[in-house]
Amino acid sequence: MAIAKAERLMNLALCLLGASRPLSKRELRASIEAYLEVTSEEAFNRMFERDKDDLRELGMVLETVESIDGEIGYLARRDRNQLPPVTLDAEEAAALQLAASVWQQARLAGAASGALQKLRAAGMPLAEEEREAYSALEPRVPAGEAAFEPLMLACRDRRPVTFDYRKSNAVRPQTRQVEPWALECWRGHWYLAGFDRDRGAERVFRLSRIVGRVRSRAGSFTAEVPGQVAVRESVARWAGEHATAQARIRLRAGAGYPLRARATRVSAAAQEGWDELEIPYGHGLDAWLAEFGPDVLVLEPAELRADVVDRLRAVAKG
């Protein structure tokens, strides 16, 4: 099936690219065997429309031109379809090839290889031998959730979307109407920033919390898209990266290395076997401190201390 379709698309592309004048649907049908084999007019029309969309997807610019006798013709203008001259040296080529390998998401991996193949056809050199990686590093971007691809396309085409979203502590998902601006992968997770229509404000969504399908909505964006979309800053704030105050804790000597690494001040506590630390106090610190169990004692603020004690009580009871 896939071969038959690729073969048909190839023929359509070659016909359009080879012609120096607009070709009518009738002419195209007469030139492409796969179209002639479709006997129903309606089925052919549907197939033809889909094929045109697919060619646009792979980068072709197709124009429609109406002839004097009112017939629609399709034209792939050479200057608009041709890759402008681009000269890459072997080093640049190798760097791009390695960069392209970061994608594990099928659509992006396919698009990246497609781009490299076009550049290869345009003369991008191939190294004599498989080149050693340019650093020992092998960066990978995780494939992402089912919501990734529809959202990527919606961001690209600036199409509003609707999806069900479960906030991290919500029992049931809620339907959100969003104008998607940008996707960002941070710490191995994908996030979407966009304008939430019901809340009338910018929101950041984590893709793994989208439940079910992402649906496209008709119409265009109603809010202005900011020049810079700060996905990471919003997420970092929720991850407790932006401290709003300082906390003072007692930490058992030798324990809690990450707390020490974060501390702004470490000193020996009055009690032997303990250190005293000052650490930035942001969202989520209570849960983090609870993890250390009897190796941490919160001194202040009282509110943080109460939160940690609450967590510990719940566990002790469980």
Partner 1 sequence: MATTAIDRTRRMLSLVTYLKERPGARVEEVARAFGISPGELISDVNVLPMCGTSFRGGDLLDIDTDGEHIWWHNADALDSGTGQPLRLAADEATALLVAARAVATLPGLRDGDRDALLRATAKLEAAAGENAGASSRLSVTFESEGGVFADVDRAITERRRLRIRYYSPGRDELTDREIDPIRLFAVGHTYVEAWCHRSEARRTFRLDRVARIELLDTAADPPPVEPRDLSEGLVQPAPTDPEVVIEVGPGGRWVAEYYPHDTAEELPDGGLRVTLRTPDPATLRRLALRLGGDGRIVAPPELADSAREAARAALELYEQAERAEAAPAAAPAQRAGEPEPSVERA
Smallest separation, CB 157 to partner 1 (Å) = 9
268 contacts partner 1 (rule: CB under 8 A) = yes
CA dihedral (309, 312, 313, 314) positive or negative: positive
Tokens of 25: 């649907």
The CB-of-7 to partner 1 minimum distance in angstroms stands at 5
Can you tell me the distance from the alpha carbon of 107 to that of 212, in angstroms, rounded to the nearest whole number? 20
C-alpha–C-alpha distance, residues 293 and 285, integer Å: 13
Please state the closest distance from residue 312 (CB atom) to partner 1, in A.
Answer: 4
Residue with tokens 């396309």: 153
Cα dist. 118→11, 12, 82, 98 in Å? 18, 18, 10, 16
Q: Which of 29, 93, 160, 282 binds partner 1 (CB under 8 A)?
A: 93
Q: Does 217 bind partner 1 (CB under 8 A)?
A: no
* Stretch of residues binding partner 1 (CB under 8 A), selected from 63-71, 195-203, 213-221, 285-293: 285-293
Alpha-carbon gap, residue 286 to 310, rounded angstroms: 10
Cβ proximity to partner 1: between 170 and 245 the closer is 170
The nearest distance, CB 266 to partner 1, in angstroms, is 5
- The tokens 């250390």 sit on which residue? 292
Best CA proximity match to 293, nearest among 255, 241, 248, 253:
255
- Answer yes or no whether residue 164 interacts with partner 1 by CB under 8 A: no
Stretch that binds partner 1, among 39-47, 63-71, 197-205, 260-268 (CB under 8 A): 260-268
The reply on whether position 211 binds partner 1 by CB under 8 A is: no
Q: Are 81 and 17 in contact (CB under 8 A)?
A: yes
159 scored as a contact of partner 1 (CB under 8 A): no
Residue span 229-258 as binding mask against partner 1, x where in contact by CB under 8 A, dash where not: --xx---------------------xxxxx
Minimum CB distance to partner 1, residue 200 (Å): 22
Q: Does 81 bind partner 1 (CB under 8 A)?
A: yes
Question: Is residue 24 a contact point for partner 1 (CB under 8 A)?
Answer: no
* Smallest separation, CB 247 to partner 1 (Å): 15
**What is the closest distance, in whole angstroms, from the C-beta atom of residue 64 to partner 1 in the complex?**
19
By CB under 8 A, tell whether 72 contacts partner 1: no
Local structure of 215: helix, strand or coil: strand
Question: Pick from 44, 221, 238, 292: which binds partner 1 (CB under 8 A)?
Answer: 292
- Closest alpha carbon to 302 in 248, 232, 225, 260: 248
CB of 234 to partner 1, least distance (A): 13
Contact 211, 245 (CB under 8 A): no
**107 near partner 1 (CB under 8 A):** yes
Q: By CB under 8 A, tell whether 185 contacts partner 1.
A: yes
Task: Give whichever of 70 and 139 is closer to partner 1, judged by the CB atom.
Answer: 139
- Contact in structure between 207 and 191 (CB atoms under 8 Å): yes
User: What tokens does 152 get?
Assistant: 């990527």
Angle between helix 41-57 and 2-18 (nearest 10): 80
Residue 213, SS3 per DSSP: strand
Letter for the amino acid at 88? L
- Piece of 3-11, 38-46, 216-224, 239-247 that binds partner 1 (CB under 8 A): 3-11
